Amino acid sequence: MPTFPIRAMARRPAAALLFVMAAVPSLSAQDRAADRRRFLAPTSQTTDDPRRVLIGNAPRGPDGSIVLVGGRVFDGTGAAIRDMNVVIERNKITRLVAPGTANWPAGARVIDVKGMTVMPGLIDLHTHLTDGQIATIPPPLVDNIADGMLRGMERMRFYIESGITTTRDVGSLDGIFRLRAWVSDHRLTGPRIFAAGRLITGPGGHSAEGLGSAPDQGNFRIASGADDWRKAVREQFDRGADFIKITSHFSRDEVRAGIEEAHALGLRVTCDCETFYIDWAVDAGVDMIEHPLPRSDEAIQKMVSRGVASDPTLVPYQIIFDDDGGYFGSTSRRFTFGKEANLDVLRRLKKAGVTLGVGTDLISDWYRRLPGPYITELKNLVSVGITVPEVLGIATRTNATLLDMDDKLGTLEPGKLADILVVRGMPDVNLDDLTKVELVIRDGEVVVQGGVAVMPKRSRTDAAPAKRY
């Protein structure tokens, strides 16, 4: 703590003390991204990612305005469905206006969505967009980056046509950051990408075990010892990671070092692990646990008391059990489990009050089944006693919060980024209506029309040289 505010506060009454504490951020308490944001002026414009890099104040997003007229609006805030017109200017929602009032900029593109549901774009917290471990491709193409990038483009089409406007990529081949940049620049159609880069694990750890690719390829960074875990975290940060993904195996020292380093850099950490590794990760301050893998009631209680969230991802295991008859061949999962056991973990997480998110973990070619697996995952949450509107709130608002993006994404409110889904039906009543995606807007641009992804408007060749890259 700096000495000056402490001395100043000592002479102030309690109310003023609170004011001083809020106005003078502590330099010694910045281990969460939100802490660091207190140093930004309210007028500062930043990148739309958890790193919040300061940028200039030039207008952002596509030129012009769009108005969605006549829809029933599910705004994701918990408010009741209501008929409203949604006004989008450049890449932001600027207002919601009552039906019958035409309060929007002259020349706006007016889109009639009468009778359809307008809602925040869906978020998937667990993707591997450039995953190169496809069961059916020839061995030379496994973990081939060029093939992974092309597959990433195909994957993005399936996600965006399913109304998923944001993905959190929890371990991919090295092209992922280029894919993120091209989507962000409106040069490719796809969902927003928040990327971990390579996931970090110990030798023989999950994803890096001997069944996969050579150590210099793949979606992982093998690290040994606490110092190397710190270095591995810094490497992903240096490449532009929005958060850090770790998987067991690790030692207590390693997981503690990795999480401490990530938090020092302002990045959250999510962990794919099980049994006692969950206890170790939670003890070390992890922010989220992936998957429905086995854990003790004590570990679940510890998750609740320390505010550690869960991304349960039941659906990939349902696919594994239904199609492959079980989980075989892994040397990094040292336990047996089944579909019912996974559902039981979800029930216990829900009962204990752990914050739940939605992610699908569609590895291999499973993305071609979308939107089915995403809807199945939502139904998994319904099966443990969460209502359909609440589940849609988790898929949008809660997921945005878990991404550290709730001030910019997750609801239809003035000032939020315009990531919007229009559905021919009432998904707040019947989740299967999410198969009827009509229109998707991402970052203020129509990217799906009539259910089909459209390419962004091509950029001009006479753009300023700095824009030509």
**Residue 401 beta carbon to Zn ion: minimum distance, rounded to whole angstroms:** 21
Using an 8 Å Cβ cutoff, are 255 and 284 in contact? yes
Q: How far apart are CA 66 and CA 64, in angstroms?
A: 7
Is the CB of 88 or the CB of 289 nearer to Zn ion?
289
Q: How far is the CB of 101 from Zn ion (least distance, A)?
A: 46
Q: DSSP letter for 219, please.
A: S
Tell me which stretch binds Zn ion (CB under 5 A): 50-58, 360-368, 385-393, 423-431: 360-368
| Segment interacting with Zn ion, rule: CB under 5 A, options 191-199, 251-259, 281-289, 354-362 | 354-362
What is the Cβ-side half-sphere exposure of residue 463, based on CA atoms within 13 angstroms?
A: 8
- Residue 180 is encoded by which pair of tokens? 């993120």
**Closer by beta carbon to Zn ion, 104 or else 366:** 366
What is the C-alpha to C-alpha distance for residues 362 and 172, in angstroms, rounded to an integer?
Answer: 12
Q: State in angstroms the smallest separation of the CB of 169 from Zn ion.
A: 10
Give the count of beta carbons closer than 10 Å to the beta carbon of residue 229.
Answer: 28
Contact 221, 198 (CB under 8 A): yes
Minimum Å gap between C-beta 212 and Zn ion is 13
Shortest Å, Cβ 247 to Zn ion: 9
| 311 counts as binding Zn ion under rule CB under 5 A | no
CA distance 133 to 281: 27
Minimum Å gap between C-beta 437 and Zn ion is 24
With contacts defined by CB under 5 A, name the span among 69-77, 137-145, 347-355, 356-364 that binds Zn ion. 356-364
Q: Minimum distance between the CB of residue 364 and Zn ion, rounded to whole angstroms?
A: 11
Q: How many CB atoms lie within 10 A of CB 403?
A: 24
Whether 118 contacts 417, CB under 8 Å: no
In this complex, which beta carbon is closest to Zn ion, that of residue 261 or of residue 361? 361
Q: Taking CB under 5 A as the rule, does residue 361 contact Zn ion?
A: yes
Amino acid at site 182: W
Please report how close the Cβ of residue 62 comes to Zn ion at its closest, in angstroms.
33
Which of these ranges, 54-62, 183-191, 358-366, 456-464, lies near Zn ion under the rule CB under 5 A? Answer: 358-366
Q: Contact, 120 vs 397, CB < 8 A?
A: yes
Q: How far apart are CA 434 and CA 263, in angstroms?
A: 36
Q: Which residue in the shown chain puts its C-beta closest to Zn ion? A: 361
Q: Which stretch binds Zn ion (CB under 5 A): 59-67, 136-144, 359-367, 421-429?
A: 359-367
49 in contact with Zn ion (CB under 5 A): no
Of 137-145, 230-238, 276-284, 355-363, which segment contacts Zn ion by CB under 5 A? 355-363
Number of residues that bind Zn ion (CB under 5 A): 1
Q: Please, which residue, 301 or 318, has the CB nearer to Zn ion? A: 318
Residue whose CB is less far from Zn ion, 104 or 337: 337
Q: What are the CA-CA distances from residue 163 to residues 150, 313, 443 (Å)? A: 21, 18, 13
3-state secondary structure of 304: helix
Nearest distance in Å: CB 361, Zn ion: 4
Interaction mask 156-195, Zn ion, x per CB under 5 A:
----------------------------------------
Q: Up-side HSE of residue 311: CA atoms within 13 Å toward CB?
A: 32
Judged by beta carbon, residue 260 or residue 361, the one nearer Zn ion is 361
Please identify, using beta-carbon distances, which residue of 74 and 177 lies nearer to Zn ion: 177
Shortest Å, Cβ 126 to Zn ion? 6
Stretches 109-117, 225-233, 361-369, 378-386: which one binds Zn ion (CB under 5 A)? 361-369
**Closer by beta carbon to Zn ion, 241 or else 441:** 241
Nearer to Zn ion, 65 or 167 (CB): 167
The distance of closest approach from Cβ of residue 273 to Zn ion in the complex, given in angstroms and rounded to an integer, is 12
What separation, in Å, do the N-terminal and C-terminal C-alpha atoms of the chain show? 45
CA distance linking residue 291 with residue 273, whole number of Å = 8
Torsion of CA 230, 236, 242, 247, to 10 degrees: -70
Degrees, nearest 5: CA angle 357-409-32:
70
Task: Write the single-letter amino acid at 32.
Answer: R
Separation CA 355–CA 374 (nearest Å): 18
CA proximity to 148, closest of 365, 428, 455: 365
What sign does the dihedral 367-281-244-443 (CA atoms) show?
Answer: positive
Chain contacts with Zn ion (rule: CB under 5 A) = 361
